[in-house]
Amino acid sequence: MGCTDFLDEQAPSNLTPDNFYTIPDHAEAALAAVYADLRFMGGGAGIFSSNWQLLEAMTGTSTTETAQNSDLNNLYSLSLDANTIHVTNYWNGLYRVIANANQVLDKVPSITPMPEAQKTKILGEARFLRASAYFTAVRLWGDVPLITAPQSASSENFLPSRASKEDVYKLIVEDLTAAENAGLAWMDVTGRVNKAAVKAQLAEVYLTMAGFPLNKGASHYKLAADKALEVITYANANPAVINLFTNYYDVHSETTENRLEHIFMIQYNTLVAGNPMDNFYPNFKPVTFNGPGGTGSSVPTTTFYNSYEKGDLRAKNQEGYFYTSYFTNGSGAPFDLGAPYVFKHFNQTSAGKAGVAGTRQNNLNVPQIRYAQVLLTYAEAQNELGAPTQAAYDALKRIRDRATLTTPALGTFSQASFREAVWRERWHELAYEQITWFDMVRLRKVYNEKTNGFDSFVGHINPSSNQALQEKHLLLPLPRQEMLNNPNLKTQNPGY
């Protein structure tokens, strides 16, 4: 009997969810794991590809020079299916964030003793991270499983059904509202969730709910405008805390991370994980210390690059969001690249620049919410309430002023022409930040670079593939393996 008892004992060094959450440090460590999970978007998706390309390849603003990854090719050709690795990886990555956030939200409240303010802050951050994951999931797949507590094989809803979009958005708003009241600072230079990020995310959620597929309309455009205005009002009163950068270089500089315009970012450091945006490097051109490298598996389409207005600083070589020449091996003699490439995520500290060798350590963060997005969200939402106001016009003009573009006078705009002016700025300002695809889906509109206008989503010819977008592309297919594992998911999204 004694021997049996001995064998039944739990090893004291084995950590489980039941014995781990006992002190405040455990809560902080568990939350850190949720933050770490955000980096799934930079994970590998086969040769010459990363998960983040899922949200870029189908927009038509980029193409590929490599074409050696069949899954990525399927995204670019709009022939993705339930086996496409990027789709599977995004599903798994988002639900990992949700699962670990659920652990924090379930276990941290009972930790005693723990300062109440610290506890509330941690729970608020976890709710923001869970809400953001669900916000991505509901836009990609529509009705998705709504899991709000830790699961095990014995859980009643271990094989959950799909919840309605309405219910998912209800949780998203509840989570973000709780986070908004969690005592967070307006900004956080360590990269943690802050009040500005929560309010900005809420504004984007309301803007999305106002459009397709929920079509909430004016009530939610007003909610979006009001929430974005809270951030703008704070920024106007505290321009040294939240503001636009004065130059575009600061958008991709290691020295400005988590500051001013960068309201929320995914954190990268080569000691843990280096910046994952290398697929924007041109195909085997010597623009870094590595010499001829890079894959060019996502590069701008020429038509999109050429759609920037004449004189737009964002299209100016090495000053804006693109580069058309660089320096041999990162810091040597200048050479012409022969095409435009994405500069927005290019780290000159790491890669090198004229006469200055790079550090070879790409610690650049990936932006998730910039103040520029808040301004454009406000301008769009406010205009939808009837007509462009001075405040909406001023928000749009700030984006264009930085690009050294002239903005027509307020009186020259109708509601319709101002609407499209704001949409154009969203395409040109927020390109390659995993935002454009979601704009296409909520608006059911796509920017046409050749006409400078907007086409209906269905039937728009995607310039990277010369294929037309179809109704089915408004949602992604549920991953095949997930449907095999969980019969309660049942019906696949239409067309797949």
Mean pLDDT of the chain: 95
Label residue 134 by pLDDT band (50, 70, 90): very high
pLDDT in tens, 217-261: 999 999 999 999 999 999 999 999 999 999 999 999 999 999 999
pLDDT in tens, 17-73: 677 889 999 999 999 999 999 999 999 999 999 999 999 999 999 999 998 999 999
Label residue 465 by pLDDT band (50, 70, 90): confident
Q: Do domains 18-175+464-496 and 184-266+365-434 have the same CATH topology?
A: yes
CATH number of 184-266+365-434: 1.25.40.900
Label residue 406 by pLDDT band (50, 70, 90): very high
Q: Looking at residues 423-447, what average pLDDT do you find?
A: 98
Residue 4 has pLDDT above 70, yes or no: no
Return the domain boundaries, the chain. 18-175+464-496, 184-266+365-434, 278-342
Residue 110 has pLDDT above 50, yes or no: yes
Residue 458 has pLDDT above 60, yes or no: yes
Q: How far apart are CA 64 and CA 50, in angstroms?
A: 13
Label residue 464 by pLDDT band (50, 70, 90): confident
Residue 14 has pLDDT above 80, yes or no: no
- Residue 228: count other Cβ atoms within 10 Å of its Cβ: 28
pLDDT in tens, 76-88: 999 999 999 999 9
SS3 state of residue 448: strand
Architecture of domain 18-175+464-496: Alpha Horseshoe (1.25)
Q: How far apart are CA 39 and CA 273, in angstroms?
A: 8
pLDDT value, residue 1? 47
pLDDT value, residue 314? 98
pLDDT value, residue 15? 61
SS3 state of residue 356: strand
SS3 state of residue 279: helix
Extract the runs of DSSP E, i.e. beta strands, from 291-348: 291-293, 299-300, 322-327, 334-342
Q: How far apart are CA 59 and CA 460, in angstroms?
A: 11
* Whether 179 contacts 128, CB under 8 Å: yes
Residue 90 has pLDDT above 90, yes or no: yes
User: Residue 378 contacts by C-beta under 8 Å, 6 or more apart in sequence?
Assistant: 203, 224, 225, 228, 229, 232, 391, 392, 395
pLDDT value, residue 156? 85
